[in-house]
Structure 1
């Protein structure tokens, strides 16, 4: 971790109490970074007893949408931040109006947590997004199909992540089942992009308006869940610059403070489209802990406390991150069948007591010189672990 602070910044860190809404793996890694940097105190709010972050930070047990629990966290914090979008923005706005500092702001969160509003915001500011329309019935979808053709993607406007809240429509026969899957939710349809690669980058902004981006990565998804991240993305240098420019424009227009995960699509014609933004550290940035001079978690804390942003240069030519996903339901039990070089292989387990199919239980980062070789080693390490 690249913890370099001047005397003024060291004084800010030593006197600032950080409150984190959410105590899962992101809350854990934010707290670990905060401890290493020397922040005075860190408290997380999470409804799960002994949440992963509780091994590092103090925990308040409470719901993420409970106004009283949020107030309790705010009253013992100088700055509030969050590791998850699905929280009570109205309660946060009330706390903000009373003088509490919250980054990113509740107003930004309200735009981002409603994916349709987010698309409207991005489109209004000239940022390329896939064509989208609000829908309420089968006939609305059929009408769009006549214009755009199939396939289409039906999406919930709120509370959607890791593919939950999406339904692909390949033909008219899929419409009813897609509507049934997302029944009772506000919906929109997005034209399906003819996808070449899924890309992402972490980009941060502080209150001074300084912006710093980590390298663009390729994300490999299966079952709508990120399985692996390749850093840097193996694409043309001009596309790397364009992806960073699109992310820079989006964060600048949001006036966001903190770190943001920006996901993009690269289509088969070579065009980039912004898919969505996460107003927090993100799975696609976990590799930065070992592979970059400043991790996404340290950078987030630097941004929300208005310190200078850290260097984002990679320490190694390439890195690959693999998510450790649950393969069964039951108590978590860690078993290794092989040992690996600790100078190249870094394993993070999140301390979750229960494993579930496709639940994120940890991640593995492997560093080296050749992307194909590093990727194969990362897959081998993952195969040697059961949890």
Structure 2
């Protein structure tokens, strides 16, 4: 199905992936008058239960992709590990996919990602690739221990990575990560972790949200505070980084950029995510237009919405059985509850989040 942009209300938008980000995108799209078609492997998924139509199949199933293409000419994705071959198939059959294949390719390989960032004026820590145990040892020796070793592909919420305290230990860490290609990163002596959520429209217009300050536990985002207390110079530095990344990728949609703030005030990019982002959940109750509506606006060719903050927000991820306390949270006047409709509360699994709202 061909698509005419800007996309008119009543049209359909496809989403690859049925998790909580897909769910919140589907809800935002519905609010703007769009129908959503979700392609997801599980029959019972958070996004699938909010969509106008659900296609249950593997992301690489060409019959399912053909069904999706027959229902909508515009598709997005909720996570960056969707197979690039699926995006290529859709594009080859006339479907507009946003963000595009370039963003997906860069984000799916951590070495390609950091290489791209440095080439486009977005600084990172020093890094080196390693394809063998011997190369891993040499990389840590070159960069200095301790160093962080990550698989080049896959991995999230602290998975797929190991700290290496001494160079000779790198061979064992390489084996523990499955013996697959890795990237070794120099340790970052940062003051705090920040993130910026930004959007780019089809006309090249950009919209940047205020910075969020983020706190992780065991590799999982625990809470974000936004707008973060930051100098004008820091905010402008983050905006410049976002603009370089978005322009370099010819990006359409919302992107999340994780940052390290160094003691001297420099910002280093930790990683990028070509999608709506956990650290942007605060925008649902803290901004005039949240990140989910902004993403739908951008990919549909609509004007981008204002990113002005209307409240101070502390976003708290609800992990495992913490979401069972919804009655207590509902009694807190300043708290807005966002639950994902997941079944099976496992330790560390994101079941929802809270936005605790206070005046600016």
Place the TM-score, normalised by the shorter chain, in its bin.
Answer: over 0.9
Deviation at 1:369, TM superposition (A): 3.4
Counterpart CA distance in 2 for 1:338 and 1:263 is 28
Deviation at 1:91, TM superposition (A): 2.8
Structure-1-length-normalised TM-score: 0.87
Deviation track 1:133-160 (CA, whole Å, cap 9, x = no partner) reads 1112333233233332211111111112
131-140 or 188-197: which moved more?
131-140
Is the 2:84–2:105 contact (alpha carbons within 8 Å) kept by the matching residues of 1? Answer: yes
Counterpart CA distance in 1 for 2:62 and 2:152 is 23
Is the 2:342–2:351 contact (alpha carbons within 8 Å) kept by the matching residues of 1? Answer: yes
Please, which runs of 5 or more residues in structure 2 have no aligned partner? none
Please, what is the CA RMSD of the aligned residues?
2.0
Deviation track 1:318-372 (CA, whole Å, cap 9, x = no partner) reads 11100001159xxx85564465344x210011010111110000000011137xx
Deviation at 1:173, TM superposition (A): 5.5
Structure-2-length-normalised TM-score: 0.93
Counterpart CA distance in 1 for 2:175 and 2:168 is 13
Is the 1:130–1:193 contact (alpha carbons within 8 Å) kept by the matching residues of 2? Answer: yes
> What pairs up with 1:1-387 in 2 under 5 angstroms?
12-39=7-34, 41-57=35-51, 58-172=53-167, 174-316=169-311, 318-327=312-321, 336-337=327-328, 339-342=330-333, 344-369=334-359
Is the 1:19–1:77 contact (alpha carbons within 8 Å) kept by the matching residues of 2? Answer: yes
Counterpart CA distance in 2 for 1:289 and 1:304 is 19
Is the 1:13–1:37 contact (alpha carbons within 8 Å) kept by the matching residues of 2? Answer: no
CA change 1:188–1:362 in 2 (3 A) is: same
Counterpart CA distance in 1 for 2:111 and 2:167 is 23
Q: SS where residue 355 of structure 1 aligns?
A: coil
Deviation at 1:277, TM superposition (A): 1.0
Aligned length: 356
Is the 1:206–1:257 contact (alpha carbons within 8 Å) kept by the matching residues of 2? Answer: yes
Deviation at 1:245, TM superposition (A): 1.2
Counterpart CA distance in 2 for 1:50 and 1:144 is 44
Runs of 4 or more above 4 Å deviation: 332-335
Is the 1:135–1:141 contact (alpha carbons within 8 Å) kept by the matching residues of 2? Answer: yes
Please, which runs of 5 or more residues in structure 1 have no aligned partner? 1-7, 371-387
